[in-house]
Structure formats: structure tokens, C-alpha cells
Amino acid sequence: MKIYLVRHGQVDKNLYKIYSNEDEDLNETGIKEALELREKIKNIDYDIIYSSPLLRAKHTAELINVNNKEIIIDKRLEERNPGSLSGQPLEVTNREEYWNYYSTIKYGTSEDIKSFFNKIYNFLDDLKTKDYNSVLVVGHSGVSKAFYAYFNGIPKDGHFLTLGLNNCEVKEYNLK
């Protein structure tokens, strides 16, 4: 099964580099990015779309759904919850450590990276049981880091900061 993983379009919290667990919609740039992505992927013959329940991902899924296929919302595709970091600038943490699989540093009440990755792994393991040829998945930067780990393993140093997708970037995977 082919999986096309898409990160949602830009939201203001991305633009201003702020941790957020708010259910924020796309900004003007994010809408433009999604419409441009729609053009780029119009020839992909996907069977279904799975999306995070967060508004920015659902809105992106709706905008890129050129084939008018069913969109299934799956809570496991939500972004890693920053907990008490929400509303704070990204620089309040060591970003390398925040996205280090082996880090023992706990930042406030943020979701543990291993639990977060396991939630994504569970989604992908479930997807293996479905009879699709091709699936679009709309998620978040953290989700794309977990996808990377699922398909490529955990890097020796455990660092994932630079391994996520940019807004409205798409990455193809082959799920066996």
C-alpha cells in the first residue's frame, strides 16, 4: 500500500514559532499552500484520506481532496501534545532534546515522545489490515517524525528535530 503523508498548511502558531495545543485553523498562507499542494497531487489515485482531528489538518484534507474521497478522522494522528508548554515560544526548550527519542528531560506536562510515536505506530499497524492501494494521510510535523521512525528506525543519536515535514510537504511511503 502506498501512503502519501502530508503535513497540514501553515497556522499562525507555526509562523510565530509557538508551542500550541489549540485547535487552530489555517492562516491565509496555509490555505494557499494547501491549494498549491492540491495541484501537485492531482494525479495521485488515492482510495481514502485519513486526517488528524485538529482543524488545521482537517481543513488541509478538505482542500487537497481533488478526488472527492471519504475523509476518516483518526485521533491517533493528532500532533504531540505540548501540555504546559502551550502558548510558549519554541525556544523555551532545547528543541534537539524535545525531539530526542532517548532524552530523559521532561518538559512540563508535554506528551512523552515514545508514547506519541507508539500511537502513530498503532495507526500504521492498523492501516496494514485495510485493503487500500493508496492512502493520503494528513497530519503534523511530529506525526511525520514518527512516520520516519516507523519506516526507517530510530537514528542512533535519537534526534528527530530535522526529520519532519514542512507545511504542505508530502512524503511517499510503502506500507507492507
- What is the spatial distance between Cα 60 and Cα 41, in angstroms, rounded to a whole number? 13
Q: Stretch 154-162: mean pLDDT, rounded?
A: 96
Query: Are β-strands 170-174 and 2-7 bridged in parallel, bridged antiparallel, or unpaired?
Result: antiparallel
By percentage, how much of the chain surpasses pLDDT 70?
100
In this predicted structure, what is the pLDDT of residue 10?
98
59 is catalytic: no
Say what the pTM is: 0.96
* Mean pLDDT, the chain, integer: 97
Average pLDDT over residues 14-27: 94
Per the residue annotation, which of 33, 59, 78, 79 is the catalytic one? 79
Question: Structural domain of residue 145, as residue ranges?
Answer: 2-174
Considering the candidates 8, 59, 140, 159, report the single residue annotated as catalytic: 8
Catalytic site includes residue 79: yes
pLDDT average, residue stretch 14-33: 95
Query: How many angstroms separate the CA atoms of 64 and 158, rounded?
Result: 33
Torsion of the alpha carbons at 56, 58, 62 and 63, rounded to the nearest 10 = 20
In the chain, the number of structural domains is: 1
> How does DSSP assign 146-173, residue by residue?
HHHHHHH---TT-B-GGGSPPTT-EEEE
CATH number for position 116? 3.40.50.1240
Give the burial class of 41: count Cβ atoms within 10 A of its Cβ; 0-12 exposed, 13-18 middle, 19 or more buried.
Answer: middle
Distance from C-alpha of 60 to C-alpha of 25, rounded to nearest angstrom: 9
Q: What is the pLDDT of residue 22?
A: 87
pLDDT digits (tens, 9 = 90+) for 78-126: 999 999 999 999 999 999 999 999 999 999 999 999 999 999 999 999 9
